Structure 1
Amino acid sequence: MSRLVDRAVPPRLGSPFRWLLASSWLTNLGDGIAAAAGPLLVAALTDEPFLVSMAALLRWAPPMVFGLYAGVLSDRLDRRRIVLVANAVRFLVLLGLVAALATDRLTVAGALIGLGLLATAEVFADNTTATLTPMLVPRADLAIANARTQTGFLTLNQLAGPPIGAALFAAGWVWPFVAETVLIVAALLLLARLTLPPATPSARASVWQDVRAGFAWTIRHAAVRTLVLTILIFNFTFGAAWSVLVLYASERLGLGAIGFGLMTAASAVGGLLGTALYGWITARVSLGNVMRAGLILETLTHLALAVTTSAPVALAIFFVFGAHAFIWGTTSITVRQRAVPEALQGRVTSVNTICVYGGLVVGSVIGGTLATNFGVTAPFWFAFAGSAAFVVLLWRSMTSIAHADSDAASV
């Protein structure tokens, strides 16, 4: 058993990282359970479409509203303590939801408030957790450490968590929230064992000055600037296409609810392939070329989905796209962690988060408008054309990513 653990998480990554990784995997499983159970709970309490849609809004809005402030706090305060407090808040909120469900006193408003508080606490926990790995792992091992973290996200948050959450909800409304409570407690106990190296506190200024410093550093650094710009632009196109994915699955491919779920599962399984190949790929290909290949693959994904009407072909496309998404995400995180000074990790991570969700929100509006006026494939044609144009514009700047390490050494 220990040999298997050593193979999955090499001893050179250190015991502190193992505690952090185990805690991250547990919270990812809990988040995956909640991703299915939260909307199901609201839909069970009311059939009002607006209130049901609020469950999704309250899951996606907190990163936009609180992301920058979470970044400032993680650069000012004890990062381990922030994660502990954020998870403690999640525990208390879950305890309240469990008690209300067990006594049959939960209202729609109470459920929405609880889900909103959980998502808000998750913003602070996730933003700060992203700054801990480079404090614990040598720079040369950040790629493998992030790959292991992303493996937990794919297998537990995206693949295993949602069906477990749905199954537990079918057994009884309270059970998925009981399960998430247990997972949060276990994650807290693991994180309590973590010891961080001493950090250099950032100079205190106003929150706005701290936020501006994070933006300014991001803009000045070529590799990180390119990453953030790419994430923002490609989430415009990605968000446009993926915002109508459920309609595309039914109207274009003739898939029902189970088929739509298979598309998500295919992406997650593809991500596992990316997990297996990541070390081999990055040992042979520069980070800049890895990301160039990813941009081309994502562009061709939109084109292939726009032209196909075959469900098996679409599932194969989603499988390949899942591998790309894992490799892209892990590379992006690794470049950022290697390049950003420790005192700015939280703020630069929050800038990245704002660009991720900002791109998705704007892209969703574009996709909905195009699908309404021109049909369900229009967002995919827009995504293909927009991505192709951006690949041409960003192609040369991708070389800066390959030099992120040397840039980082000079900051």
Structure 2
Amino acid sequence: MGVTRSDPPRLGAPYRRLWTSTAFSSLADGLFRVGLPLVAVTMTRSPTLIAGITLAVTLPWLLLALPVGALVDRLDRRHVMLGANLVRAALAVALIGLLSSDVSAIWVLYAIAFGVGAAEVYYEIAAQSIVPRLVHHDVLARANGRLFGVQLTADEFIGPPLAGLLVATGAMAAVAAPGALWALGVAVLLLVRGRFRVDSPAAPQGTARQPATGRMVRMGRRPAGLRRDIAEGVRFLWRQPLLLRFTAMNGLFNLATSAVFAVFVLQALGPMGLSEAAYGVLLSVIAAGSLVGSGLAERVERTLGRTRTLWTSYAAAVPTVAVPALTTNAYVIGAAFFVGGAGILVSNVVTVSLRQRITPDRLLGRVISAHRLVAWGTKPLGAALGGIIGELLGVRIVFAVMTVVALAMLTALLGVDDRRLDAAVRAADH
């Protein structure tokens, strides 16, 4: 039976399985991300050393994003995701063994955090690249909204308070739970059938076509190097000024939020007087707002248009870093986190869907990695800045400085309008 124009495209069973696997993996991320700094607090109260955990887990985005993007465009994207989760589960098992041996050196936490962060680079780039292969482009906003919704809900809404409770019962539980969840993510992802490797353009038997130049080379010789592949993706992003603006905006905002949340645990457990469990609950409010944003993103974009949606959502995200500079009231900060979480999610849905629509599938992994190099590569820089500023000037000064950075981010939207965005999408479709 044919599909009529009145029939809305469905997301489908493969997408739902990806969604379920992502839910397990994201919950594991949330437990690990919050649990590890809480374990570190039992070893040291130095802002620099505590911020080192965030630095270690985010540093791989700065070091590995570009080559990983090129590899994702060469490999089966589902296989990359499976391998990344298996590595993270194995690292969780290794950490359990180290903790059971009473190892208390914080450098061990840094090493495990870096390994988990490296696996995350592979997983995230492959996951975002695989979505357009699973759903129709007309429902990309819906698919991304639901995927981001479950990621943020599990990672930041359920994960943080659960991590606080697990750490209260023992460090072992806080480490074992993420390992088990990453393994569950592997099991569900195995049910997503199909081949998710980008096919090269057709070539005569015995030859292969180099994607960057179309020049023919004989099979058996080394394919075009990673540097050539990486350069092709970077050039594409550089020649798309709208996508480049969004990359710069995300980089500035992630620099600010990474600096703030690298030291926020000291503010929460100190002047704010929160317990570990209450700290986890407060962080989860961001995900509560994100959950609301995931349900509204498609409708808001359709009602306001892309440009007004971007202005509104990015502006709503600024209080996430600004309000902690003004007050230690947990309820006021929680309200700012809720609004900011909704804004962050809506802006992500719009910008990611645009990137997927504008970028050719064969380049998607590389363009995402180039974007993430800037957008997420600033996270370790932010964590380092947060630790240094906090050590020298105090934690609340970190919040004030990063508020200025977040406000500066908004200037990149000047000159962006729906006409330019629509034209970019039409050009990509043709």
Normalising by structure 1, report the TM-score.
Answer: 0.83
2:90 partner amino acid: L
* 1:147-167 CA distance string (max 9 Å, x none): 111111222111111222332
Distance 2:189 2:66 in 1: 24
Q: 1:328 to 1:135 in 2, by over 3 A?
A: same
Match of 1:200 in 2: 199
SS in 2 for 1:174: helix
Q: 1:398 to 1:309 in 2, by over 3 A?
A: farther
SS in 1 for 2:82: helix
* 1:276-302 CA distance string (max 9 Å, x none): 322321221222221122233345666
1:10-409 correspondence to structure 2 within 5 Å: 12-44=10-42, 46-47=43-44, 49=46, 53-101=51-99, 104=101, 106=103, 108=105, 110-197=108-195, 199-201=198-200, 203=211, 204-239=223-258, 245-246=264-265, 254-257=272-275, 260-299=279-318, 311-363=330-382, 382-399=401-418, 400-409=420-429
1:353 partner amino acid: R
Q: 1:360 to 1:93 in 2, by over 3 A?
A: closer
Q: CA deviation at 1:310?
A: 5.2
- Structure 1: state its 5+ residue gaps: 1-9
Q: CA deviation at 1:143?
A: 0.8
Q: 1:128 to 1:367 in 2, by over 3 A?
A: same
Alpha-carbon contact 2:51-2:384 (below 8 Å) kept: no
Q: Which range is displaced more, 362-371 or 93-102?
A: 362-371
Larger helix share, 1 or 2: 1
Distance 1:245 1:54 in 2: 13
RMSD of the alignment, in Å?
A: 3.3
Q: CA deviation at 1:92?
A: 2.7
Distance 2:36 2:387 in 1: 24
Q: CA deviation at 1:321?
A: 1.2
SS in 1 for 2:416: helix
Distance 1:336 1:84 in 2: 24
Alpha-carbon contact 1:32-1:161 (below 8 Å) kept: yes
Distance 2:51 2:283 in 1: 20
Alpha-carbon contact 2:390-2:397 (below 8 Å) kept: yes
Q: 1:53 to 1:247 in 2, by over 3 A?
A: closer
Match of 1:5 in 2: none
Identity of aligned residues (%): 26
Distance 1:335 1:230 in 2: 15
Alpha-carbon contact 1:292-1:398 (below 8 Å) kept: no
Alpha-carbon contact 2:314-2:344 (below 8 Å) kept: no
Distance 1:40 1:296 in 2: 31
- Structure 2: state its 5+ residue gaps: 1-7, 201-209, 212-222
Q: CA deviation at 1:131?
A: 0.7
Q: 1:31 to 1:248 in 2, by over 3 A?
A: closer
* 1:66-99 CA distance string (max 9 Å, x none): 1112111101111111112222222333333344
Distance 1:314 1:47 in 2: 26
Q: 1:237 to 1:339 in 2, by over 3 A?
A: same
Q: Which range is displaced more, 13-22 or 79-88?
A: 79-88
Distance 1:248 1:172 in 2: 23
